[in-house]
Amino acid sequence: MLDVGDGHQIYVEESGNPEGRPVIVLHGGPGGGCSPFMRRFFDPAHYRAILFDQRGCGRSRPQASVHANTTPHLIADIETIRQTLGLESMLLFGGSWGATLALAYAQAHPGRVTGLVLRGVFLGTQAELDWFYGGGAGRFFPDLWAQFCDPIPESERGDLIAAYHKRLFSDDAGRQGRYAQPWLMWENALAGLQSSAVSHAPPDYARAFARLENHYFTHRCFLDEGQLLRDRHRIEHLPAVIVQGRYDMVCPPLSAWRLAQGWQGCELRLVPASGHALSEPRITTELVQVMDAIRDRDNARTV
């Protein structure tokens, strides 16, 4: 547990080779937290894998707190982790919101990053939020979209992020929990190509996920509109690989395409018959291949 100030303590773990190539794993959400599954992309003989739960979620405390919880705070937390562990620089591995945070950190501290491996790119733009919470994705999943909209009165459905925010941040913890479930279920149901709607998630997890994600989306991810594309020039000297599901309904491939266009050192891999989730079989396979290829190049240089 690492004290990062503002009353927050964040959970950090390391695995693999203590002298290996450092890679920081940035989970999605915001609010998702890390899992043991996320360690499995990194050959433990080669990589020093560093996972952490971002402020307010997972094993970090206080849970579900949005106090002093913004993108600049998370960028500062990554710097604190880097300094605490004595890292000169590191590879960034992140998907969905984790890709957003990886890009934001790299653009803020380009000299501390050796490369990026991104999945399911989300750039934090209004168009992306409109797609997912304004009915775009609902055109493909009208039944699930109806379940997401149903708890909200028709008069408030013009801005579902704001409508859910009012309820997720009410003074009634029970009410927060009741509205956290449909918020989480909408995203989970669309995450995988073969996903099916699930009716319930652990209450503490659902509350943290929904509150943090809604908090960030209410504030447009604490980024200027178009910032990550605008400032891409700051990281164009870095190598990057984007693994993107062709049928990603949470973060459609257009954002990954726009990010990669004109970035000479960036390779975009559009994965067929795949959606958004890290656990999608073809996505998992592709990311393992990417990390093994980086390992092999590193080893070739040291021979």
Q: Confirm whether 276 is a catalytic residue.
A: yes
Rounded Cα distance, 116 and 85, in Å = 19
Asked if 248 is an active-site residue, the reply is yes
**What is the DSSP-derived secondary structure letter of residue 86?**
T
Q: How would you class 245 by CB atoms within 10 Å of its CB: exposed for 0-12, middle for 13-18, buried for 19 or more?
A: buried
Q: Which of 8, 165, 215, 276 is catalytic?
A: 276
Q: Which of the residues 43, 53, 77, 248 is marked catalytic?
A: 248
Sequence letter at residue 293: A
Considering the candidates 96, 195, 255, 274, report the single residue annotated as catalytic: 96
- CA pair distance 12, 1, nearest whole angstrom: 6
Contact status, residue 248 vs residue 274, Cβ threshold 8 Å: yes
What are φ and ψ of residue 144, in 5° steps? Answer: -70, -35
Strands 21-26 and 90-95: parallel
Q: Is 8 a catalytic residue?
A: no
Helix (H/G/I), strand (E/B), else coil: 197: coil
> Position of tokens 């579900």?
64
CB-based burial label for 61 (10 Å; 0-12, 13-18, 19+): middle
**Among all residues, which ones are annotated catalytic?**
96, 248, 276
